[in-house]
Amino acid sequence: MSKNVSWDEQGNGDARGEWGALDSAGRKLDLAHWQSRLDELRAKHHVPAASLAILVDGAVHELASGVLHRGTGVEATTGSVFQMGSIAKVYTATLIMQLADSGQLDLDAPVVDVLPEFSVADPELTRAITTRQLLSHTSGLTCDFTYDSGRGDDCLAKYVEAAGGVALDCPPGEALSYSSIGYNVLGRIIEVLTGKVWDEALKDLLLTPLGLDHTMTLPEEALRFRAAMSHLGEPGQDPDPAPSWDLMPRSAGPYGRVIATAGDLARLARMHLAGGVAQDGTRVLSEETVALMQRRVVDSPDKWSVSADGWGLGWTLYDWNGVQGYGHDGASIGQYGYLRVVPSAGVAVALLTNGGGARELYAALYRELLAELAGVTMPDTFAPPAEPPVVDFAPLVGTYRREGVVITVTERDGAGHMVYEFVDGMKDFSEALEIDLVPVTETVFAGTGVGAAFSEDYMPVIFSALMDGTGCVYIGMRCGPKVA
């Protein structure tokens, strides 16, 4: 257990070692209890280290537990920084909305109006893609395109050029398909309109105004602080340190590499909860723009992979039995982050981890925290019913494909089976996965035997259709159209 606990109240400083605090509404927040639960659940689920920040009515309370590196035994503190993976997309979206606020960017204009060099595999569809679609993952651009364009300041320009020939998951505007390419294109838009590389624009336009001095993008910056090491291993066991601290190229920044403390992540959420105003009164976003980011653009056919009921402009949107919320998840090859915000209660919770059963830790801890602080009842963990329904699987049989992945669905002895194979630039990511499909509904299945590559328990597999009737399958929020 870490004894390094911090609390900042309305900007009035930092109190280390406090075990109880009053938020600005006068409610008692039992930090000793939550420290104990964090310690207990972290150990139970074999998570080496976890950092937790709780924002209640403007006050940020920070807790830490465990070790940053199981090989060295260095303790986690509230000042420790973690890789946050796709939570970086929230930062990129916020920067884009600042540019829209200032009139520099029309969200509904074609991307090629700002980036003439932007293209997709189908030239006719290139001009159809807008910035708004990139923000809401409705552009059709795919996710799993990995390309190391080097460490230079031109890495994003090179990445966008290299992605020009990648096939779309689906036509623009037709469906949600989670896209990292789309967020790198947004990063490049930021560079062109600000005249700064994405990293510098992030610091100047967002991190500095918000006072986020424990947030960064590059490894050499992270070395100023205690940095969490990634850990990898089999579910249910203590994981081992990964071969490298960071396996992502610099070009992953806009979609996947912001490094921060849990407290700094909660402070970003505080600005959004405050209608776009920083704690010192600086306006970062207009109130109208903050609300627009939280407005649902598209429903999610996959409500389980990241608990997404829908998507706004950068935010994942949640509906907890009528209580609305927003946030984002992130994964960075052994490090996992979770942010949930409940506007009606003025509450945000940020959890950063460095391996093990992080998703199970998140689910158990957030279920308790959000129930007590915000009256939220989170859904049960995704799993098939005790008596799965009988479904006609024949219409779902076939081959589905998106960039980097081929999915072959067959029927074996009346039951569904799937082979998930990595191809193209993803071919060395993992061996092909053999997955049994247990029915949840006629179109939703629980995939078994997946392991840590996707989830700790069952992997949601959702069959749907595009507007033209083409069948598709959703795995990990990614749309794979049927090709045979």
From start to end of 201-283, where are the E strands? 215-216, 231-232, 240-241, 259-260
Least confident of 76-80, 163-167, 226-230, 471-475: 163-167
pLDDT in tens, 339-362: 999 999 999 999 999 999 999 999
Digit-coded pLDDT (tens) for 47-106: 999 999 999 989 999 999 999 999 999 999 999 999 999 999 999 999 999 999 999 999
Output the pLDDT for position 137.
97
Strand partners, 475: 461, 478
CB 307 within 8 A of CB 296: no
The Cα angle at residue 46 between residues 213 and 258, in degrees rounded to 5 = 25
Task: Grade residue 126 by pLDDT with cuts at 50, 70 and 90.
Answer: very high
Residue among 6, 86, 179, 230 flagged as catalytic: 86
CA separation for the pair 210, 441 (Å, rounded): 45
Two tokens, residue 104: 């520099």
- Strands of 203-331 (E only): list them: 215-216, 231-232, 240-241, 259-260, 298-299, 310-311, 316-320, 323-331
Q: What mean pLDDT, rounded, does the chain reach? A: 91
pLDDT for residue 19: 46
User: Would you say residue 133 has pLDDT above 80?
Assistant: yes
Q: Does 4 have pLDDT greater than 60?
A: no
pLDDT for 20 beyond 80: no
Q: Which amino acid type is present at position 17?
A: G
Measured at the CA of 128, the angle between CA 126 and CA 133, to 5 degrees, comes to 105
Q: What is the pLDDT averaged over residues 372-401?
A: 94
Q: Tens digits of per-residue pLDDT, 211-223?
A: 999 999 999 999 9
Q: Is the pLDDT of residue 266 over 70?
A: yes
Contacts of 318 (CB under 8 A, 6+ apart): 307, 308, 309, 324, 325, 326, 327, 340
Which pLDDT does position 451 carry in this prediction?
A: 53
Model confidence at 238: pLDDT above 70: yes
Given the structure tokens 């060295």, which residue do they identify?
A: 72
Percent residues over pLDDT 70 in the chain? 92
Question: 464 in helix, strand or coil?
Answer: strand
Please report which confidence band the pLDDT of residue 27 belongs to, taking 50, 70 and 90 as the band edges: low
Torsion of CA 7, 16, 91, 322, to 10 degrees: -30
Q: What is residue 355's predicted lDDT score, i.e. its pLDDT?
A: 96
Q: Is 86 a catalytic residue?
A: yes
